[in-house]
Amino acid sequence: MKPRIHYTKPSITELEIRYASDAAANGWGDQCYAYIHRFEELFKEHLGVNYAIATSSCTGALHMGMAALGISPGDEVIMADTNWIATASPIVHLGAKPVFVDILPDSWCIDPEKAEAAITPRTKAIVAVHLYGNLCDMDRLLAIGEKYGIPIIEDAAEAIGSVWHGKRAGSMGKFGAFSFHGTKTLTTGEGGMFVSNDAELFERVLTLSNHGRARDQKKQFWPDEVGFKYKMSNLQAAIGCAQMERIEELIGRKREILAIYRERLCGLDGISMNPEPAGTVNGAWMPTVVFAPETGISREKLQGAFAAENADARVFFWPLSSLAMFESVTENIHALNIPARAINLPSYHDIKITEIDRVCDVLKKFASSYHVD
């Protein structure tokens, strides 16, 4: 058996180990928030936003941000059907309803026209999820938000490094949320970040994030309301600080890996990959290939061939509307149909060129088995 090719794996150097050891040895008492605050500062600077709160996950950041926007029972939140469930679950936990709309066939992100058509008097927000690092059409979405007075939330969990016409993903909406799960471009093991430029919303989330204790509350152990506990630990933040010092390198390597795949695969008939339209930068979290319908290539065939090569083959997200706990939405044709002929490619930072070649050879074999006009 050839050695396994993993799809993601963090890039951890001496720097992360040094900071984590320091946090374990010294990050207590009056230093117990030192790495957390530094991590938040570094993140704000990188993103170009005014406020950031480190959290235990992206899901937690979304949950608190949505709660702070007042999303509550009976409300609707519009999002793309193609996504990880983490974006939908906070909506459900708040008693609101996720409304799943179709994606665009080229970016695999929310179709703004479909989002606009789904707006009702109960719509409280639209979530822009920058899938696999690909960017949503933020100009259109922000214009729709403006027109109807509806906030646009950015789930940028997969989009660190992505830039929309000079603005970083996560910095353009009412608030943004990031994930530092072990599979993401920047990791703290588990972790996340809430970011915003809205001072009022930031204060609201800060209070919620501290079990409902307002910053100016002088009484000790006196919550003013029922809040949340989604904090990041100083130990995790220490790793985050090291990763932030290496952020350009981490993003650069992801982009390099996508570029290598693109160079080897994009000339092939019937294959498309993550787009990078003019004026944008794709953070390239997850290089992905989609075969054209005429090729007859299926997810199952791809998974079989990758397994034979001992390479991880991560399936393209199932439409959330196909899951048992949600109602099916048969008109979301792209969300329903693209995953059946797509696959995520291994892209961990230290992947070797020989491993990329092994993956490309699997795909090239498929491409030689059909002809698309």
Q: How many residues bind ligand PLP (CB under 6 A)?
A: 14
SS3 readout for 118-179: CCCCCEEEEEEECHHHCCCCHHHHHHHHHHHCCCEEEECCCCCCCEECCEECCCCCCEEEEE
Residue 43 Cβ, how far from ligand PLP at the closest point, in Å? 14
Q: Is 86 in the site for ligand PLP (CB under 6 A)?
A: yes
Q: Is 57 in the site for ligand PLP (CB under 6 A)?
A: yes
Closer CB to ligand PLP, residue 180 or residue 291? 180
Residue 353 Cβ, how far from ligand PLP at the closest point, in Å? 27
Which of the ranges 18-26, 70-78, 83-91, 233-241 carries the binding residues for ligand PLP, by CB under 6 A? 83-91
Neighbour count for residue 147 (Cβ, 10 Å)? 10
Q: Is 39 in the site for ligand PLP (CB under 6 A)?
A: no
The answer to whether 161 and 284 are in contact (CB under 8 A) is yes
Taking CB under 6 A as the criterion, the residue among 35, 84, 108, 230 binding ligand PLP is: 84
Taking CB under 6 A as the criterion, the residue among 79, 129, 257, 281 binding ligand PLP is: 129
Residue 276 Cβ, how far from ligand PLP at the closest point, in Å? 19
Task: Tell me how far apart the alpha carbons of residues 220 and 222 are, in angstroms, rounded to a whole number.
Answer: 5
The dihedral sign for the CA sequence 245, 247, 253, 254? positive
Give which of 189, 185, 322, 317 is closest to 254, Cα–Cα.
Answer: 185
Q: Is 195 in the site for ligand PLP (CB under 6 A)?
A: no
Closer CB to ligand PLP, residue 58 or residue 289? 58
Taking CB under 6 A as the criterion, the residue among 157, 160, 251, 351 binding ligand PLP is: 157
Residue 120 Cβ, how far from ligand PLP at the closest point, in Å? 24
Q: Is 158 in the site for ligand PLP (CB under 6 A)?
A: yes
- Chain-centre distance of CA 146, in angstroms? 24
Taking CB under 6 A as the criterion, the residue among 65, 173, 192, 287 binding ligand PLP is: 192
Q: Is 362 in the site for ligand PLP (CB under 6 A)?
A: no
Task: Tell me how far apart the alpha carbons of residues 351 and 353 are, in angstroms, rounded to a whole number.
Answer: 7
Closer CB to ligand PLP, residue 188 or residue 295? 188
Which of the ranges 56-64, 115-123, 260-268, 349-357 carries the binding residues for ligand PLP, by CB under 6 A? 56-64
Task: Tell me how far apart the alpha carbons of residues 109 and 82 are, in angstroms, rounded to a whole number.
Answer: 8
Residue with tokens 């953070």: 283
Q: Is 109 in the site for ligand PLP (CB under 6 A)?
A: no
Which of the ranges 51-59, 161-169, 237-245, 331-339 carries the binding residues for ligand PLP, by CB under 6 A? 51-59
Q: Is 316 in the site for ligand PLP (CB under 6 A)?
A: no
Q: Is 59 in the site for ligand PLP (CB under 6 A)?
A: yes
Closer CB to ligand PLP, residue 65 or residue 270? 65
- Give the phi and the psi of residue 127 in degrees, each rounded to 5: -100, 125
How would DSSP label each residue in 256-310?
HHHHHHHHHHTTSTTEEE----TTEE---SS-EEEE-GGG---HHHHHHHHHHTT
Residues 219-248 contacting ligand PLP, CB under 6 A: none
The answer to whether 173 and 179 are in contact (CB under 8 A) is no
Q: Is 155 in the site for ligand PLP (CB under 6 A)?
A: yes
* Interior/surface letters 209-218, b for 16+ CB within 10 angstroms, e for the rest: bbeebbeeee
The answer to whether 274 and 280 are in contact (CB under 8 A) is no
**Helix pair angle (234-245, 247-265), 10° resolution:** 60
Q: Is 179 in the site for ligand PLP (CB under 6 A)?
A: yes
Footprint on this chain of ligand PLP (rule: CB under 6 A): 57-59, 83-84, 86-87, 129, 155, 157-158, 179, 181, 192
